[in-house]
Every structure is written in C-alpha cells, then in structure tokens.
A and B are shown apart, each in its own frame.
Chain A
Amino acid sequence: GAVVSQHPSRVICKSGTSVKIECRSLDFQATTMFWYRQFPKKSLMLMATSNEGSKATYEQGVEKDKFLINHASLTLSTLTVTSAHPEDSSFYICSARDRTVGANVLTFGAGSRLTVL
C-alpha cells in the first residue's frame, strides 16, 4: 500500500532557530499533500495544503511566513518552522493523496514531534 515517510520523527531545537520537516511519498506520486498539527488530546488541525509546483494554501490563522511550505516535486513536501518558539512545540503530521487512486484516500506520515526549548 501507499507509504508516506516523514522525517525527522523527533526534533528538539532552541528558541529562535528554524526546523525543517520532510514528507515523502515513497511509492506513489502526490500532487497534493496536507500538513496538520496535533496538540495532546486534541484533533488534527489542518494547517495548509501543499500543491506541487505552486504556492501552498494556508488555513485561516496559520502564519505563512512562520510555516514555510515547499512542494518541489511529486514526492516531496517540506514544512519549515521559522524562528521557532516554545508555543510551536507540537506534533506535526503530513498526509498525501495518491493521484492515481480515489481523491478521498489520504495516507498519513508517522508524524514529527517538535519541542522548542
């Protein structure tokens, strides 16, 4: 089945630094990838939709300049948390849609836990 790899799985950084998280579709091409954020015991909140070859579409309230998304190829999207602060600490999860399968089936990565000190 479709596999989405997310890296790193855990990252700890100092306040003010930037962190990049990668999301790769391993055995399929994904024209669209989604980035979610999940707080403990809370639902997944959609942050942005990443479209290959074009600008990402951000949800209301998500800062574009803080959460930079790049979807440079059909198998890779990256999320960069710029000038991270402790309140950015969270579980970030990406998902991808196989362009050859039904549009409603999303495969999720294993998530990346960011801790900002």
Chain B
Amino acid sequence: QKEVEQDPGPLSVPEGAIVSLNCTYSNSAFQYFMWYRQYSRKGPELLMYTYSSGNKEDGRFTAQVDKSSKYISLFIRDSQPSDSATYLCAMKTGGGADGLTFGKGTHLIIQP
C-alpha cells in the first residue's frame, strides 16, 4: 500500500460546480497537510496548509483533515475554468526540515 493515495482522474465538472478532491494515507504520524496546484509544465504552488485535524477556509477553497480516518479533502466552490489543473495533496510528519510525501495528483477539468 502506498503511503498516500489519490485518484488521478481526470475529474471533469461544469463551471460553477462544487469540486471535492480527496486523499487517503496510511502513516498515522503525518501531522502537516497541504494542497498544491500544478498547471501543465509548471512547478506546484501552495494552495492550502493545515496542521492536524480540522477545517481551513480560504476564499473559494476549503481544506478538511480527518486524522482518525486518515482522510483529507479539498473543496472548491464556484469552480472556474482557471481552476483546471492538477491538484496534489502532500503531507509530512514533523516540523523539521524533511521533505513532503505527495499524492499522485488529480487532474481537474472545469468545463466552461
């Protein structure tokens, strides 16, 4: 079993729809959870960052972490064609200088 599982998609939804992206993980030591957006042929950019369980909202984006279920989600409200990209979940254990463990990424397509 891989450490982080993420459905690669593609996920295609109409403009204005609510999008739900998810990751599951197996390592209970993960404490820091992030969502990155990556456009084609570009590096990832940080969208959301959460520590431990709970919700975090930033504009149209909401990140949820359920550590008991080892499940994290990213919701996008009022989706726009410009949201079309690959969304990668990432997580790490401690606060030290160690790298992130990424999901495979979900390719999201917002249809105009």
Among residues 1 to 51 in chain B, which have CB atoms less than 8 Å away from a CB atom of chain A? 4, 6, 8, 32, 34, 36, 41-46, 49, 51
Quick check: B97 and A6 within 8 Å, CB to CB? no
- Which A residues fall within an 8 A CB radius of B? 4, 6, 31-32, 34, 36, 41-46, 49, 51, 91, 93, 95, 97, 103-111, 113
Q: Write out the residue numbers on chain B whose beta carbons fall within 8 Å of the beta carbon of A95.
A: 43
B41:A111 contact, CB within 8 angstroms: yes
Stretch binding the partner chain, chosen from B66-74, B77-85, B101-109: B101-109
| Listed A/B pairs (28) with beta-carbon separation below 8 Å | A4-B43, A6-B43, A34-B99, A41-B8, A41-B104, A43-B6, A43-B88, A43-B104, A43-B105, A44-B44, A44-B100, A44-B102, A46-B99, A46-B100, A103-B95, A103-B96, A104-B32, A104-B51, A105-B49, A106-B46, A107-B46, A108-B43, A108-B45, A109-B43, A110-B42, A111-B42, A111-B43, A113-B41
